[in-house]
Amino acid sequence: QLENMPNTELTQDAAALLGDGQAAQDAGKITAARRMLTAAVARGNDDPHTAVTASIAALKLEQPELALELATAGSKEFPRSAALHRIRGMASYRLGRYADAETSLRESLNLDNSQALSYFLLGSAQNRLGKTEEGKRNLREAARLDARYARRK
C-alpha cells in the first residue's frame, strides 16, 4: 500500500501521517484518511500509541475493517498492548465476528484486567455467541469496575 502513495507522504514520519490522517478524517476525506492512517501504523513501529490512535480514528470513521487491520498490524509489533487487543475485539464485534471478538478481548484482559470496557464487550460478544452465563459474569464485572456499565432499570 505504501508504494501507491505520493512521495510527500512517503517522507513523513508516523506522527505527521497520523495528524494528517485525522485531519483528512475530520474533513470527510475517507480515502485519504485511510491511506495516511495505514501509513502511520506502518511507520510507527517504535510506539503502540500510533496504532492505537489510528485504529480508534478508523472506528470513528465507521470503518471497523480498517480499524481491525490497523490494530492487528499494531498488535504484531506490540503483542503486549492490551489496548490494541481491545480495539481488535471492538472492531470484530462491530463486524459481527463475535468469536474473534471474544478471543481478542480475552487477550486484552489477560494483559490488563482493570478495563471495564473490555469486560463489557466480552460479555456482549459472549451473549451473542449464546454463552449467556459467561456473558452475564463479564457484564457484572464491567459494572463492578465502572458504574457506567451497570444495568439501568
Instruction: Give pLDDT tens digits for 17-67.
Output: 988 988 988 888 888 988 999 999 988 878 899 999 999 999 988 999 999
Average pLDDT, the chain: 90
Instruction: Give pLDDT tens digits for 21-35.
Output: 889 888 888 889 889
What is the pTM (predicted TM-score) of this model? 0.85
Residue 15 has pLDDT above 50, yes or no: yes
Give the model's pLDDT for residue 84. 97
Give the model's pLDDT for residue 1. 40
Give the model's pLDDT for residue 11. 59
Q: How confident is the model at residue 5 (pLDDT cuts 50, 70, 90)?
A: very low
Distances (CA, A) of 144 to 120, 131, 134, 149: 11, 20, 15, 8
Contact 93, 67 (CB under 8 A): no
Furthest-apart CA atoms within the chain: distance in Å: 56
- Residue linked to cell 512517503: 10
Q: How confident is the model at residue 70 (pLDDT cuts 50, 70, 90)?
A: very high
High-pLDDT (> 70) share of the chain, %:
92
Q: Which own/partner pairs from 146-149 qualify as long-range (CB within 8 Å, at least 24 positions apart)?
A: 146/116, 146/117, 148/116, 149/116, 149/117, 149/119, 149/120
Give the model's pLDDT for residue 53. 93
Distances (CA, A) of 5 to 12, 17, 36: 11, 12, 9
